[in-house]
Structures are given as structure tokens and as C-alpha cells.
Amino acid sequence: MIIWGMVGNSHDASLAVFVDNKLAWASLSKDFSDVPNDPDFNWTQLEVAKQSYGLPDKVIWYERPFLKTLRQFAAGQGWLAKENNIKKYLNKWGINCPIEYIDHHESHAAYGYYTSGFQDATIICIDSIGEFETFTIWNGTGTQIQKVYRQKYPHSIGLFYSAMTQRCGLKANAEEYILSDYAIKGDRYAYLDAIEKDFTDQKMLKNGFWQVRFKENLHRGCNWWRPELQSEKELIDIGASTQEAFERMMMRISTSASFKLPSKNLVLTGGCALNKLMVKQLKPNWDSIWIPPNPGDPGSCIGAVLGMERTHIDFDPKVWYNKV
């Protein structure tokens, strides 16, 4: 049985090939096209997979298009719904096998947990947005993962960070790493109080988890915020304060999860897991932390299959194609 896990038609397209339930190969489209964050597959990439391992018996897609369409209409982005016919999209690439679908955040959680080597873990998935979910916590035990907390659109920590990236004159969904560097250059406390007051509503819930909600829908940015702040120093300080606010949110989420759930192994996935400064702040709460390679959407090509199969694998990061 040959199964392809696939991510695409949005950003950061990727492909994983499983042969008889063993991960054989994984690749990012951008490594074949040289297009940053390439949303589409690449003919050379697909041909390598076909020639090396054979055509797929089925494809597992990393999210549910119907739910994504509902969210897009709810967000006033109905024009994007035409892109969600995945069967038609894959036919364009010569792929005509059966397709199965799995929840976006379940793909993230499965990728992290089933490659971690842990037999139990607390799994935290935080990104910009899945279908509706933007932040989920899971309990991993043995071969099972169970969702125990979720936060839904438009309340998104990932969208907050991307919106502030854009506010600082950087490119959202591409240059967030530059914003995190501002925390080293700038004053982390210059606008911290203003950011927390103007954007967030945070509290401990009765169920023991920390809730982060936002006063504005930040899906389309926040360039309206404090427009008088435009100098280079002011923008760097906004970035530094954003990083501090982000780290505090994550620390509260992490701390509450560490008290609420039994495992002291943390699996961190989703695009927010790429923030190295934040990860350093989480370490005191946990015995071990696993962040898989490509923890954002690209890694979900592997997670989509593992989430369906509910099985651990002996994971070697070298399975990812590395363009030399």
C-alpha cells in the first residue's frame, strides 16, 4: 500500500510518501521550484515520488475543505472557496486515486506526537488558523491522541503575531523571524502594556486552561494601530514588545497545560513552534520538549497519514529531501 500525505493549494506545499505504513520520503515543493512558500506541487517533485515509490493507492489531505470553506465565508473570504475542490486540484497534477481528509490541527498533533519517541505527551498546537481552530491542546497516551482544549477563529495567536509583523513594515507569513529578532535589539516593555490592553483578553478558565482571546479580528492586519509610531526605533520596540507579549501568552498556556495534564513531555507544533526565543521560555515547565522539523503546515503531510493510522514511527529527520 502506497499512501501520499499532501499539503498544498494554500502555502508551503509538501508531500510525504508512505510505503506499507513506513515513511519513505518527504519533500517541500519550494526545494524543487525555488519559490519561497510555494503553494503548489512541482512536476519534478511528483515525478521523483512516482519513479522512486510508485503511484499512490490513496491520498490523505491535511485538512477538511468543506469546513475550511465554511470558515472562509464566515470570514468574508468567500471568493477563496473555489480553491477547495481538492479532487479537481489533484487531477490537475495527474493524481486520480481516492482521497481521505483529516482535521488540520489533528495533522499537526499527529506529526508531533507520533514522531517524538514519547509514549505519553502533552501536545500544544498553535498556528494562524486551521479550518476553524487556531490553538488546540491534546493528551497523548500510547497510540492515541485526544483533544482536550480548543480555541476558534478569529481568536488566533498566530494571526496576532503575523498582524504585528505587518504593522512593523515586514511581510506577514514570511518575515516573522525578523520580528522575533527585534526582541534582542529593542525595548521589550516599551509598548507591552498597550499591546496587551488594546488587543488581548486573557484569563484562567474554570477547566484549568489559559484562554487568550482578541478584541479585534486580526486576519487582515492591524496597520490602524498607533499610526503615529513610524520611526525605525519605534517599530523595533513594537516588535520587541510583541515578542514579549507572545512569550507571556505561551508561558501561561504552557504552565496551565503542565498542571492540567499528566505528562511532562511537551510536543509543540504549528507555525508558532518556529519561534526559538519563545521555546526557551517554556523549558522550565517540562522534562522534555520535542518540536519536529517543519512544524508548520509543511510537516502536516506526514501528520495527515500518521493521524489516520494512529501509529508511532521511528522518525529520521533525514527523510526530508534536502536540496544541496
pLDDT over threshold 80, residue 78: no
For residues 90 and 221, membership in a common domain is answered with no
114 in any annotated domain: no
What total of structural domains would you count in the chain?
2
For residues 128 and 274, membership in a common domain is answered with yes
pLDDT over threshold 60, residue 204: yes
Confidence of residue 60 (pLDDT cuts 50, 70, 90): very high
236 in any annotated domain: yes
For residues 261 and 311, membership in a common domain is answered with no
Percentage with pLDDT > 90 across the chain: 92
| Structural domain boundaries, residue 89 | 2-104+297-319
How crowded is residue 152: how many other Cβ atoms within 10 Å of its Cβ?
A: 15
Close Cβ partners of 22 (under 8 Å, ≥ 6 residues apart): 313
For residues 130 and 245, membership in a common domain is answered with yes
- Domain with 229 in it: what CATH number? 3.30.420.40
The sign of the dihedral angle between the CA atoms of 18, 19, 22, 23 is negative
Confidence of residue 324 (pLDDT cuts 50, 70, 90): low
For residues 82 and 172, membership in a common domain is answered with no
44 in any annotated domain: yes
pLDDT over threshold 90, residue 82: no
Q: What is the mean pLDDT of residues 127-149?
A: 97
Q: What is the mean pLDDT of residues 142-167?
A: 97
